[in-house]
Structures are given as structure tokens and as C-alpha cells.
Structure 1
Amino acid sequence: MANEKQFCHDYLFLKPKEVGFVDLILLLFYSNLEKLGFIECPEDSRHPNFRRRWLIFVSVVAQKCLGFLRKPMAAVGYLIELWLNLLSSNGGLLMLLINLLKGNLVIPDRSSAKFTSFLGNIDRRVDLDRSIQPNDRRYYPSLSLMAAKLSYENEAFINNVVKDHWKMEFLGFVNFWNDFQKSYSTQAFLLRDTKANPNVIVVAFRGTEPFNADDWSVDLDVSWYKVTNVGKVHKGFMKALGLQENHGWPKEVDRLSDQPPFAYYTIRQMLKEILQKNKEAKFILTGHSLGGALAILFVSVLVLHEETLLLDRLEGVYTFGQPRVGDEQFGEYMKENLNKYDVNYRRYVYCNDLVPRLPYDDKTLFFKHFGPCLYFNSCYQGKVRRCPLDIISLLF
């Protein structure tokens, strides 16, 4: 942890795996956090008011519960996806029963181009809207939406849709390493749209999977770092993007043959190589839920590293159901730089979606959205909202 403290001097780290019942009681009734082993913060921040301690309490309890539910949630998700794909692979319930009796039951392969995720079974659309052409101002948001949706599928499925349905070039699907979780828990894929003029590269980050407790824990976490001259940024999202456990955000990392890929550094290098071959091409960042947070934070690290060549080629960032990623200072920092590099940033929110309202936002905590919000109600009627979304208070 010492190295993390060198990266930033102001921070709040929650460690729900280390919390006990007595710790939670102490958190509510004692303002001195110094003796609580599951919280780390600077000495001058160890006496927060009750409202802040209550929100920390809610976050820790929620993450603790999700920790207990990790395996049951994964098992339920696995069985639901298997059942839905059994039905589709065998032609429906009746044919499934007939095939079972005949001994011809088709068992779906989870890595095949025909296997569909839970979200993919809910919404089976894979084709782009043919009424929206590349010269239409709605084209990039529409393409981004479908790419964000497609990111939840396996590599073979994505490859098939990009090549056979969209008639575009599939550039790769990668599982990225999280240096803190010690697992390959971040996913993204890249495609090239040659129909657009200029050509556009789309980077789509996978978002919060419905039955992945770790993803939900990241969304509910209120831990943060304060980056100098940038502002406070959500810790969990930074980790998923490729924050280095021992070094923070160095501009370069050692590229050893046996080193696992980190999302930010790997995608940045891929984009540089692709864009160098086509001097006119642009690129787009997109994602749904957690993926939307990674998309906009990717831009923030590009700015931090002064990657001017890439920022000049960034057409836009289109996120869907994106959670809050930082404080008001971070929002102003991002708005200034998005305007500087003429980057389109659009944040789409549907009705009462929970994720855009996380982490909690009230006068006690700092998490704030920034930029215009394209809000759609339950009747799919849209309007632009520039004020924060209202939430149900968690404070009594």
C-alpha cells in the first residue's frame, strides 16, 4: 500500500474483505477511523461526519454481501445462460424434448459463435439500423450502441457479427489483467469501419455483467484517489483500466513477453499502430455501464500522459448507462480537455437505470456526472439534461 500512497496523497481505500461486525458498529458510532483496519485514509481525513460514515457503511455492507453471493450468482448465471442456449440450439422447448428423447440433444459450446450471453438472449438484435447511414450524425452513436451491446458476447460471436452482419473488420478481442484483483477481469474488442469516411476504429469495453458480483462491487465501491491537478477518481474503475499496483500511472510499462496485458497500455499501443497506417482514420470509445466508465477514463489517462496524437484522432466517446467516475474538479478537467481536442462526449441514460446513479451523489460525497446527459424515459422519449440525475437518498 505504501507505493499507492506515493501515487496520491489524498485517498480513501475500503477493504470489505477485512471487515467484521464489530468494525461496522464502530464505523457508525465512532468518528475516528484510525483503528478500523478495513479503511485507509490520510490522518487529516480520519474523522468524517456521520453522513459520510453512513454512506461508507452502506458501500461496505453491499460489497460484503456481494462477496458472499459471488459463487451463487455465478452459478445461477451459468445455469440460466445454459438453459437459454439449450432452447435456442435445439429449436425451442418442444424440439429440445424431442431431441432429448431421441438422444440427439445439442449441447451448446460456450466459446462458439452461436452461444449467446444472458443479455444477448434478452435482446437478440445484432444488425445495424439500415436507415442510419455513415453521413448521418446519428451514425457514430448508433454504431457505438451496438458495439457496447456486442461486447458482452464471446470472441467468436463478436467476430461473426462484425464480419458477416456489419461487413466490418474485426481487429481483436482481449482479456486484460487487473493488477489488484490478480485476474483477467477487463474485456474489450476493436473493429474498423471502412464504410465511414474517414475510416473509424471502435473500441468497446465490456460493462457490468448481471451475474458477476465483482463487477457490481466495483460499481458500489466509494473508494477513490485524488490525482494531482486532475481531481478525485473512482479507484475500482482505475484498477480495471490498468492502474499499476506499485507505480500508479507511469506513461510506459515494461513490455515483457510474459507480462499480462493491461487495458489502457495495450489498447493505446494498438491504436497507435493502426492509426499510423491510416493518417485520416479516427477512433471512438464506447461502453455500457462499467464499460462506459472505462471509456471516459481512458481519455483522462491519455490527457494525463499528453498523448496529443491520439487525442487529435479521437472522434468521440459514447457511453450508455455510465456510472459516476469522479468529482466536480475531475469533471471540469475533462470538459476543458474534451473541448480542447474537439471530442464529442455523449452520455446516454435510460429511465430508472440504477448504474448511472452510482456511486451515490449527495452533498456528503463528491461523485458527479459531467457533460450533457441524453435521457430517455420509459416511453423512449429523449431529452437533454445538464443537471445531475435525482436519486433516492440512502440517508434515512
Structure 2
Amino acid sequence: MVAQQVGHPKMGEEKMIIRSEKVRFIDILSMLLLRRPITSYRFVEAGDQTVADFGSTPGDFFVALTEIIQKALAAAYYPAIYIGAFVEFLLNFIVLNNGILGIILNIFRCKLVIPLNREAPNFRSMIALIDGRTELKPIPAVKSAEEENLVDVENGVCGSDVMPLIQQQYANAPSYSILEVTMMAAKIAYENAAYIENVVNNVWKFHFVGFYSCWNKFVGDHTTQAFVFTNAATDATAIMVAFRGTEPFNMRDWSTDVNLSWLGMGAMGHVHIGFLKALGLQEEDGKDAGRAFPKTSPNATADKPLAYYKLRDVIREQLKKHPKAKVLITGHSLGGALAAIFPALLALHEESEILGKIAAVNTYGQPRVGDKAFGAFLRAKNVPLLRVVYRYDIVPRVPFDAPPMAEYIHGGTCVYFNGWYTGQIVAAGGDAPNPNYFDPRFMLSMYFNAWGDLFKGAFLWMKAGKDYREGAISLLYRAAGLILPGLASHSPRDYVNAERLGGSKIAGKEP
């Protein structure tokens, strides 16, 4: 991904698309041993400008490794879908019947609960089974600006209890920090529409606007989900958009996260093509961003809405109803990637009415989405992107930064939390430790951290309180980190813990 200057787009077609389904193992060996120009392979589609920029650049270790991972994920797709469906059914069956003993008692009472409806409000995804917390934690009484730990993203200063979501309009209503609300919204975005609506309306006492399952024309399926809510039914001061992230048993989502393919988007720079497709990309055109993502909404049937255009319309409608409201955008994992690109597309289309209302774009465990030009574009358009990374979470370290073929660089302000939930601001332009994950210098530290997280998960409640008690499902998930360090660190549970236990102790220095 050769760097491109903002405001000076190249005239040729810029794209680099790897068709992983066409990659053979002999091609992987060829990349490692023969060092042929990467654009000469039949599985690579490159624009004319990209071919000229790359010249004789060969594929390297990270390109080959990415394709090996893609092959493994493709092979695991259907087994993972079936295993995931069975595991979620079994665990919901146990939970909804209050355990093994409850199952036995309910059989005799003829009250056995069988979770056949995955869209029921009491059905939980694997994410909610790992962490079932739904209540928001209010901001405690604040005595001074220093104690409040105000956040100034533009100047690289950040904290937890800042920019409280303005109180609901009833007496003695609590205030919540934006980090608290965005993280919890990103977490429940993994659930079905009925579950989300119940939490927003009945637990948070906010106003649920809608749940949207959106179409990806390249996959031929509804791959993108998001929901919208406001902090009040009338005269709201906050409009929240939350994107669903990488689902644990969906290998297609994981494949998208690690994919190296990108598309030239003019002033936006080079952007991950998989995430663009999830938002409603129309053409794989690396020369004309207007054709790839037209400003005018393409014709879409009611049952196949396109995420970017649908959510843009919903926000417009809500801003008309609530003219004083600010817009908050969030997502965890893949959802964080979509949350980062969504306002960039608004800026590309000069949607100043919406863009000027965005108060925060907070992402958690977000993969990389673009190059340096993309990050510069966000800064130039004053998009307030705040990325939160917990310890050795594997997802923020993909797609690999593999220059010159794929120069994936994180943008925005990064807050990095270590294993003890102590947060630190990463220096401007920097990244979390072990940025490409496979650096051998971090291997021992990663495994020690996995063991530490397992023990911390078992005993944290003794110090922090009952809200931090973890069940068997969560601890079993943490144990997976002993096999693949960084996998368990991706759980929204640790991001909630980090925000609540360490958000007010963030230091303005590198980790």
C-alpha cells in the first residue's frame, strides 16, 4: 500500500485485491522462495498505478502467512458454524434452565425451556454468555475538572469519566461516561434485535430506534448488523450508532479481519476492501471513489439495505427529530473497523450536517483499516477517533503492516491498557506493543499474560466486587489464550473491565 498524499490523488487505478480462493499452496511457496513480483500472480488483481508503484516488489512472509491463515479459516467455515450453533444452543439451554439441577427439576415440573428461537430476547450469543453484564455504571459525583479527568482527543489527552452522556430528562437521572456507553453498546451489538431493544429500553432507560441487518452484494448475504438508539424519546441529546463485531464462530468475519486487500478511495487513501464491502461498496474501482461509493444512495430493496446509506438516512431522520443531539459511533472488533470508516465516508461525501454533529468515534479491539493517508484524512476532517486496545489482543494487530504491499497503519488516538487495566496514551503515530503479533521478542510475555488473565479472571471479583465475578464459560474462553495468546484478550469483557477499573488512571505516555 504505497503511501498517497492527501489532496493529491494519483490518476491511475489503485487497488490490490488478493483472491484467496485462487491461491494455491504452490503459490505460497513461490512467494517465499522464488520472490516473483506480487502483481504477476494470477490471484492478484492490481490497478495500473499499483503495478507501476510496486514494480518488482515480491510477496513477503506476512503475505504468505496471511494466505495460510485464510486457507485455514476457509476450511473451518462450515465446521465452525455448526459447532457454534450447537455450543450456543447447549449453553443457552443450561443457562435458561438455571443449570444442570434446574434442567432436572424443570423436566419434572414440565417447565423445561428449550431455546429454539435464536431471536428471542432471552437468547444470548457467545459474547453475552462470556459476559452477561448489561447495566451501565454511572459516573460518580465529580468535584473538580481534574477529578473528572476530561478528554481532549484532538490534543492527545484522554480519560474515562469524560464527556458524560447527558442525563435523561427525569429527576435524579444518572450520567454515564461516553466510554462506558460506547463500550457497552459495542458489546450488546452482538445480540439479536429483541435482546438489544430490551436492554436499551428497559435496562438503560434509553430509547431504541432500530436494528438493521444490511446487505453485502459481493458476499450475497446480510453480513453487517448495527443498531441505533437515543438517550431520550424526545429532545434527545445523544444519538448512538453501534456496529456488530467479529462473531466468534463466523470464520468469514475473521477472514475479513486479516485480509490484506485494499482499494484506492481518492482523498481517503487506501482502505481495506472487505470493510468497504460490508458498508455497501458498489464497484471495485480503484480509480473513481465516486463509482466505488457513490454519494447518492444506490437503489436497494427494503430487505437488502446497504449499511452506510441506511444508517446515514437514519441519523438524518434522528437529527431532524433531535436537533440538539450529538452523534456517537462505536463498535468492537470488525464493528470498530466499520465505525472508523463510516465517518470517513461521510467526510468524503461532504455530509457536513452529520459530520459536524459527531462527538465521538470510540472503537474497541479494532483491526487496521487503511494507510497513512487514511489516518491523515480523518485528522484533516476532525473525526474524533479514539481506539482502545487491551494488552495483546490479536485483532488490533491485523491486517499485518507489510510494506510496501500493504501499509496498514492505525489512525486516531490510541489508549492501551495493560494486564492490570492501567491505561496509557500511545504517542501520536504509534501503535500498541508487538504491532504485527508474531514478533518473537513478545512471545514469553504473551503467554505469561494469558496465564495472568486466567488467574485474574478467577479472582478479580474478590478485590473489585461481584460485578467482576466470572463464570465457567468465561474462564474456559480465557483458557483458549493459553493456546493462541491474544485471542482471549479480544473479549469485550476485558474492555469493559479496563474502562471501568482503569479508565480514570490513564497516563499520557507510551506503554
Give the aligned partner of residue 273 of structure 2. Answer: 235
**CA distance in 2: counterparts of 1:259 and 1:121, whole angstroms:** 30
- d(CA) in 1 for partners of 2:408, 2:234: 36
Amino acid in the other structure paired with 2:45? E
In the alignment, the residues of structure 1 paired with residue 403 and residue 202 of structure 2 have an alpha-carbon distance, to the nearest angstrom, of 50
Shift, 1:320, TM fit: 0.6
Q: CA deviation at 1:138?
A: 6.2
For 1:158 and 1:32, the matched residues in 2 are separated by 49
State the shift of 1:390 in Å: 2.7
Equivalent residue number for residue 378 of structure 1:
419
Confirm or deny: 8 A CA contact 1:31 1:46 kept in the other structure.
no
How far apart are the structure 1 equivalents of 2:211 and 2:99? 30
Measured at CA, do residues 377 and 112 of structure 1 come closer, stay the same or move farther in structure 2, by a change above 3 Å?
Answer: same
Hey, what's the Cα distance between the residues in 1 that align with 2:209 and 2:135?
A: 19
**Do the aligned partners of residues 89 and 395 (structure 1) sit closer, same or farther apart at CA in structure 2, a change above 3 Å counting?**
closer
Which of 359, 363, 368 in structure 1 is aligned with 2:409? 368
Candidates 24, 30, 37, aligned match of 1:20: 24
Is structure 2 residue 227 aligned with structure 1 residue 189?
yes
SS at match of 1:113: coil
1:196/1:59 CA distance change after superposition, 3 Å? farther
Moved more, 26-35 or 282-291: 26-35
Per the TM alignment, residue 45 of structure 1 is displaced from its structure 2 partner at its CA by 5.1
Distance 1:208 1:272 in 2: 27
Tell me how far 1:152 sits from its aligned partner: 0.3
Q: Separation in 2 of the partners of 1:125 and 1:298?
A: 28
Question: What SS does the corresponding residue of 1:208 show, helix, strand or coil?
Answer: coil
TM-score normalised by structure 2 residue count: 0.71
Alpha carbons of structure 1 residues 279 and 102: separation in structure 2 relative to 1, 3 Å:
closer
Give the % identical residues: 36
Q: Which runs of 4+ in 1 moved over 4 A?
A: 45-48, 100-104, 135-138, 195-198, 256-259, 392-396
Asked if structure 2 preserves the Cα contact closer than 8 Å seen for 1:134 and 1:195, the reply is no
Shifted more, 231-240 versus 258-267: the winner is: 258-267
> 1:31 aligns to what SS in structure 2?
coil
- Distance (Å, rounded) in 2 between the aligned partners of 1:393 and 1:215: 19
Aligned equivalent of 1:77, options 78, 84, 87? 84
Note the C-alpha offset of 1:265.
0.4
Conserved in 2, the CA contact under 8 Å of 1:349 and 1:376?
yes
Match of 1:41 among 46, 59, 62: 46
Match of 1:128 in 2: 136
Partner of 1:337: 381
1:254 deviation in Å?
3.5
Query: CA offset at residue 99 of structure 1?
Result: 3.2
Deviates more, 1:182-191 or 1:127-136: 127-136
Equivalent position SS for 1:74: helix
Aligned 8 A contact 2:189 2:244 in 1: yes
Q: In 1, Cα distance between the equivalents of 2:249 and 2:179?
A: 27
Instruction: Give the Cα separation in 2 of the matches to 1:216 and 1:102.
Output: 43
Please state whether the residue corresponding to 1:180 is helix, strand or coil: coil
Task: Report the counterpart of residue 433 of structure 2 in structure 1.
Answer: 390
The alignment's TM-score, normalised by the length of structure 1, stands at 0.91
Name the CA shift for 1:333/1:46 in 2 (closer, same or farther; >3 Å).
closer
* Structure 1 residues 89 and 27, CA gap change in structure 2 (3 angstroms): same
Instruction: Return the letter of the residue paired with 1:62.
Output: I
- Displacement of 1:74 after TM fit? 1.2
Match of 1:58 in 2: 65
For 1:204, give the aligned amino acid.
A
Deviation at 1:229, TM superposition (A): 2.3
Hey, what's the Cα distance between the residues in 2 that align with 1:328 and 1:46?
17
For residues 258 and 99 of structure 1, do their structure 2 counterparts lie closer, same or farther at Cα, with a shift above 3 Å needed?
A: closer
1: distance between equivalents of 2:403 and 2:22? 28
Structure 1 residue 257: deviation in Å? 4.3
Q: Which has the higher strand share?
A: 1
**2:362: which partner in 1?**
318
The 1:301/1:179 distance shift into structure 2, 3 A limit, reads same
Shift of 1:8: 7.1
Q: In 2, distance between residues paired with 1:102 and 1:143? A: 40
Alignment: residue pair count? 386
Q: Which runs of 5+ in 2 are unaligned?
A: 1-10, 141-163, 168-174, 285-290, 441-511
User: Larger relative contact order (C-alpha < 8 A, sep ≥ 6)?
Assistant: 2
Closer/same/farther in 2, CA of residues 63 and 388 from structure 1, 3 Å limit: same
Question: Secondary structure, in 3 states, of the residue corresponding to 1:301?
Answer: helix
Report SS of the residue matched to 2:386: strand
Which residue in 2 is equivalent to 1:4? none
Query: 1:47, CA displacement in angstroms?
Result: 4.7
Which amino acid letter does the alignment assign opposite residue 157 of structure 1? Y
Match of 1:359, as an amino acid?
P
Contact map agreement 2:236 2:324 (CA 8 A) in 1: yes
Q: Any idea what SS the aligned residue of 1:9 has?
A: coil
Tell me the CA shift for residue 53 of structure 1: 3.0
1:294 pairs with 319, 338, 359, which one? 338
| Whole-Å separation in 1 of the counterparts to 2:337 and 2:357 | 20
2:178 to 128, 131, 140: 140
Distance 1:106 1:200, change over 3 A: same
Opposite residue 117 of structure 1, the aligned amino acid is S
Mapped pair 1:224 → 2:231: no
Instruction: Identify if the C-alpha distance between structure 1 residues 258 and 284 changes in structure 2 by more than 3 Å, giving closer, same or farther.
Output: closer
Cα 1:313/1:285, change in 2 over 3 Å: same
Gaps of at least 5 residues in structure 1 are 1-6
State the SS of the aligned residue for 2:323: coil
Q: 2:15 & 2:46 partners in 1: Cα distance?
A: 6
C-alpha contact (below 8 Å) 1:190/1:204 kept by paired residues: yes
Is the CA contact (8 Å cut-off) linking 2:300 and 2:306 kept in structure 1? Answer: no
Residue 335 of structure 1 deviates from its aligned partner by 1.0
With 233-242 and 187-196 compared, the bigger mean Cα shift is at 187-196
Q: Is the 8 A contact 2:241 2:328 kept in 1?
A: yes
- The equivalent of 2:119 in structure 1 is 111
Q: Which moved more, 1:385-394 or 1:299-308?
A: 385-394
